Amino acid sequence: MPLKANLMKITRQYTIQMVDLYGQYLRLKDEIDAAIADVIETSSYINGPAVGQFASELAEYNNIKHAVPCANGTDALQLAMMGLELRHGDEVIVPSFTYVATAEVIALLGLTPVFVDVDPDTFLIAPQSIKDSITSRTKAIVPVHLYGQCADMEAILDIAKAHSLFVIEDTAQAIGAEFTFSDGTKKKAGTIGTVGTTSFFPSKNLGCYGDGGALFVQDENLARKIQVIANHGQRVKYYHDLVGVNSRLDTMQAAILRVKLRELNNYCSKRNRTADFYDKQLGNLAALTLPQRMANSSHVFHQYTLKCNTFNRDDLKQFLADRGIPSMVYYPVPLHLQKAYRSYGYTEGDLPVSEDLAARVLSLPIHTEQQEEELRFITDSVKEFLATNNLA
């Protein structure tokens, strides 16, 4: 019996999950246990040596000068906007079809979120929609590399240059993805715009065992400034030059992330293997649209997201649930229609693609620990649903 199956048998009954954090841990158990024990031995829980070591290794991985660790991916976005000195009333362009964190910090800082639409096939922020939303108050664009592939950064950088805008890449779902420019230059997600942000939330592609985040910055001064803001605005202890926040990556999390970073490329390949399997098994079914891959970006498949064309998505979700297969809706309500963002004055029909996707998308389980048997059971079940409902 393979090691993993054996361990599973001892520790718990196998269930299909959206992500399998425990199974992933078991493969690295000795190394991770040792890394955690090491932090406890030194009891250097805040800003211990692993934090700086991880930051250097992460910067090297992404081929950028500075990685600045912080407490979570939402803080990373906030720190980016504070570091760039965005001010009350400045407009920040953000896709409506994304996780709330992206827009939340804009509102929190008293900036104005300007929601724009996404591409119906790739789910990514649509350059034309950005262009149409630029005003004299626009200061920044926040492209989100949703589900694991890069937005069209070449087009976005052109727009940003033409209007002198900052570009803050939210790469919480796409760490490790790579964008290829038309001249052949390749850059990692998060290192293309002015600043990149990411999250190490446990279920993210590079997840820790709690909350964590980081920023990617090429510019030395901006990196320093963000680091200072993340540490109560102090360059020297108890001397506060800027109004800052408390946003640090725990030493324990950094120690775990150092071990897992070495596996990141391997994790990306495993997720791609699942996506390839789904593509092959579920292709050519008119009732479903499979996730489209950008020609100029690699994909790290944080999510594998179907569009349900000719039937109610919730019926498929229930059918799968009855067979013990989880599936998730990322995200059921576009941000411009969320209650908390009503005051910005959007109404239904303003961003039709985002609204349509919110009603149709369904994400299947995808992670690093799936066996073919599990994947086949999932795709057979999807096909069975379609056949049962005369949709195949």
Q: Which of residues 314-373 bind ligand PLP (CB under 6 A)?
A: none
Is residue 170 a contact point for ligand PLP (CB under 6 A)? yes
215 Cβ contact partners less than 8 Å away, ≥ 6 residues apart = 67, 68, 70, 76, 79, 80, 195, 196, 197, 198, 223, 226
**Member of 50, 172, 254, 306 binding ligand PLP (CB under 6 A):** 172
Q: Which of residues 211-230 bind ligand PLP (CB under 6 A)?
A: 211, 213
Is residue 73 a contact point for ligand PLP (CB under 6 A)? yes
Minimum distance between the CB of residue 384 and ligand PLP, rounded to whole angstroms?
Answer: 31
Binding segment for ligand PLP (CB under 6 A), chosen from 54-62, 98-106, 131-139, 310-318, is 98-106
**Member of 191, 199, 205, 354 binding ligand PLP (CB under 6 A):** 199
**Member of 96, 129, 138, 173 binding ligand PLP (CB under 6 A):** 173
Length of the chain, in residues: 392
3-class SS of residue 232: coil
Is residue 72 a contact point for ligand PLP (CB under 6 A)? yes
Distances from the Cα of 251 to the Cα of 39, 40, 155, 196, angstroms: 7, 10, 38, 22
Do residues 388 and 362 lie in contact, with contact meaning Cβ atoms separated by under 8 Å? no
Binding mask 113-142 for ligand PLP (x = CB under 6 A): ------------------------------
Secondary element (H or E) of residue 137: none
382 Cβ contact partners less than 8 Å away, ≥ 6 residues apart = 282, 288, 316, 320, 364
**Member of 19, 39, 51, 99 binding ligand PLP (CB under 6 A):** 99
Nearer of residues 99 and 115 to ligand PLP, judged by Cβ: 99
Q: Which one, of 296, 309, 300, 298, lies nearest residue 386 by Cα?
A: 309
Nearer of residues 245 and 285 to ligand PLP, judged by Cβ: 245
Nearer of residues 48 and 196 to ligand PLP, judged by Cβ: 196
Structure tokens at 277: 């399997």
Is residue 144 a contact point for ligand PLP (CB under 6 A)? yes
**Member of 96, 102, 149, 274 binding ligand PLP (CB under 6 A):** 102
Strands (E), the chain: 66-70, 91-95, 112-116, 138-141, 166-170, 178-180, 186-188, 195-199, 213-217, 234-236, 239-240, 288-289, 304-308, 361-364
Minimum distance between the CB of residue 72 and ligand PLP, rounded to whole angstroms?
Answer: 4
217 Cβ contact partners less than 8 Å away, ≥ 6 residues apart = 64, 65, 66, 67, 68, 195, 196, 223, 226
Minimum distance between the CB of residue 82 and ligand PLP, rounded to whole angstroms?
Answer: 15
User: For binding to ligand PLP (CB under 6 A), which residues are involved?
Assistant: 72-74, 98-99, 101-102, 144, 170, 172-173, 199, 201, 211, 213
